[in-house]
A = this chain, B = another copy of it.
Amino acid sequence: MSHSKAIHNRIADGGYAAWLSYPSLPSGRLQDQYVKWCGAVQATDEDDTVQAALREWQRGIESMLGIQAVKVREQAPTGLSVVFGTFQGGNPLIGSVFGEETVRIVGPEGFAIRTSQEQGCIAIGAVSPAGVLYGVFHLLRLIGNLEEIEGLDEVIIPVNGLRMINHWDNFDGSVERGYAGRSFFYDNNHFTNDVERIRDYARLMSSAGINAIAINNVNVHALETLFISKYLPEVASIADQFRVYGIKLFLSVNFAGPMHEGEVCTADPLDLGVRKWWQDTAAGVYAAIPDFGGFVVKADSENRPGPFTYGRDHADGANMLAEALEPFGGIVIWRCFVYNCKQDWRDRKTDRARAAYDHFKPLDGKFKDNVILQIKNGPMDFQVREPVSPLFGALERTNQVIEFQIAQEYTGQQRHVCYLVPQWKEVLEFNTYAQGAASPVKHIVDGSLWGNRHSGIAAVSNVGNDRNWTGHLLAQANLYGYGRLAWNPELTAEEIASEWISLTFGTDPDVSSVVSRILLDSLEIYESYTAPLGVGWMINPEHHYGPNVDGYEYSQWGTYHYADHQGIGVDRTVKTGTGYSAQYIGLNSERYDSLETCPDELLLFFHHVPYTHVLHSGKTVIQHIYDTHFEGAERAAELLASWSSLKGTVREDLYMQVEERLRGQASHAKEWRDQISTYFYRKSGIEDTGKRTIY
């Protein structure tokens, strides 16, 4: 490994290259295999995207193998090469390696990859240049993970059509819920035009499989309202960069846009002037960006304008925008994050968890077919633990995407490590029973269950202008993992972690084993010292960092735990509670509604119970709270200890970053432990059977 280390230390980039850092590979049989095949490359399409794939290939091969991938137009002197291009690109090798059947099934974004000993090549073929690029990233990933490449023969197609990132970047350069510095798109109400950074961002996103990015915050402020008009030239420049990497650009729009800019003084979706304004505006956008993706809309939510102002419903609002985009093939992504954000904490009847379902279920089937509803994974707001939103399964005739949050707003804000892929997996595997026994969320969001025209996954970005993109280096794994999971939900959290580790740190098995353990344990650890049994929201208001058990208890946000001296939890059952449990289908509804069958980890989400209630685990609720918090803080400290074992093995610049964050986490986890356990001890008066120090 000494060669590898030398390379590593030479490029101490602070994590900027992320999973495209192409660590040099150890010598051995596989390296020999790679060197044998990769010395020559053919990429004859002149398309920008294929040429970008070629550059990426040459960069990766040189960095990983220490050899040049020489571009050739015919078969190399060695007789072996890597060949990639579109089927229609005219390269005879591609034509001869792949049959017509392959071309037929590969689809607009998929690719075929095959090692042909007869033809002396590893060939990647695709319908689209983007498919070629995905194939090249795939082969680079195989090599970076020390996989065999001599027997390849696959057709790989992304499972989800829309694989989207939502930026919550504001034009002033701030990032709402951003924990990795400021925006790299904007600063001080100007576009940064940071061509290099934006290109590298597109490379990273494309390599993970992302094909759509909305570049501005869903809360669209005054100047951002003009992105679809005055600022189109600057937006188009970003779209040009994205296009090379197969990414469509989307914009969040202000539903009240016509009132800001137009001659109309209403935003009523049924007003003809308003409709015309949006149609004209859409035409303007497509004139500047012919492959523009569409609009993302947060309407009638948290004080944003929307159709309710005019006595219209969400379908009226979304369809009006959809009509404007339809001629150009654009889509409307309409968020379902709609609830009463001025609730009275004294009112136990109103239940924020019910809101999305109550608002949107009645509208099922009323949306145009270029509208997609974007539904948060849970009914509340990206808590560390929530049930899956009951809207999944409830909308049978509506396009929908699930919305995850890669940004760790409620999961440690990229100061704590919290690998979220296991959470997303759990959500995607959740069986809704919507169409019989096997109706997991993943088959709703991939469009197969209901046969939707549009479907997929969206997520809130966790990047900023920090050198390493995500603040916490290990938070890169969430960004990478999100893309990979959106591409193929069948990948396991372990597989994704393993890929990311090799691509970031190299293939040292010790590193892989330690980092993998850290990542895979991290969510459970974070949950254990923060939010017991699905309770949620025990955090400081506004900034959402750090413990504050009553932080939201007397607020207007509909986020309560109702802890008193006897017990805690929200009664969402049918008989005595808010009836939220009835929004689920069949077995799910029964399971959650019953105290006997409700899973421990969601107990306090669905039931108000005494502290002395005995969990399925055999522990009382109060003892569970004490135990998890003490164990969680201990395990957080162990994360630091584990990582420390890698000192001298992991590249110094990366090592130091993570050590500093894990040290902070270990300390902050103790603060969580002490505040939460003290709060509940003082409130319940029940002693910890473990007799640990509680204040």
Contact = CB atoms under 8 A, between A and B. Distances in A.
A603 interface: no
A674 B681 CA distance: 23
Contacts of A562: 682
B550 A683 contact: no
Interface in A478-517: none
Contact of A683 (B674, B683, B695): B683
A548 B547 contact: no
Contact of A675 (B554, B563, B695): B554
B547 A554 contact: yes
A364 interface: no
Contacts of A684: 565
A685 B610 CA distance: 13
Contacts of A674: 346, 554
A345 interface: yes
A251 interface: no
Contacts of A565: 565, 682-685
Interface string A256-292: 0000000000000000000000000000000000000
Interface residues of A, number: 22
B345 A695 contact: yes
A596 interface: no
15 contacts: A345-B695, A547-B554, A548-B550, A548-B554, A550-B679, A554-B674, A554-B675, A554-B678, A562-B682, A563-B682, A564-B681, A564-B685, A565-B565, A565-B684, A683-B683
A346 B683 CA distance: 16
A547 B554 CA distance: 9
Nearest to A541: B540
Number of copies: 2
Contacts of A645: none
A523 interface: no
Given A554-B675, A566-B685, 9 more contacts: A345-B695, A346-B674, A549-B550, A550-B550, A550-B679, A562-B682, A565-B565, A565-B683, A682-B683
Contacts of A563: 682
A683 B564 contact: yes
Contacts of A554: 547-548, 674-675, 678-679
Nearest to A568: B682
Interface in A663-682: 674-675, 678-679, 681-682
Contacts of A675: 554
A345 B695 CA distance: 9
Nearest to A542: B542
Contacts of A549: 550
A153 B346 CA distance: 63
The 4 A-B residue pairs whose C-beta atoms are closest, nearest first, are: A564-B682, A565-B685, A565-B565, A346-B695
A674 to B, nearest CB: 6
A685 B539 CA distance: 24
A549 B553 CA distance: 11
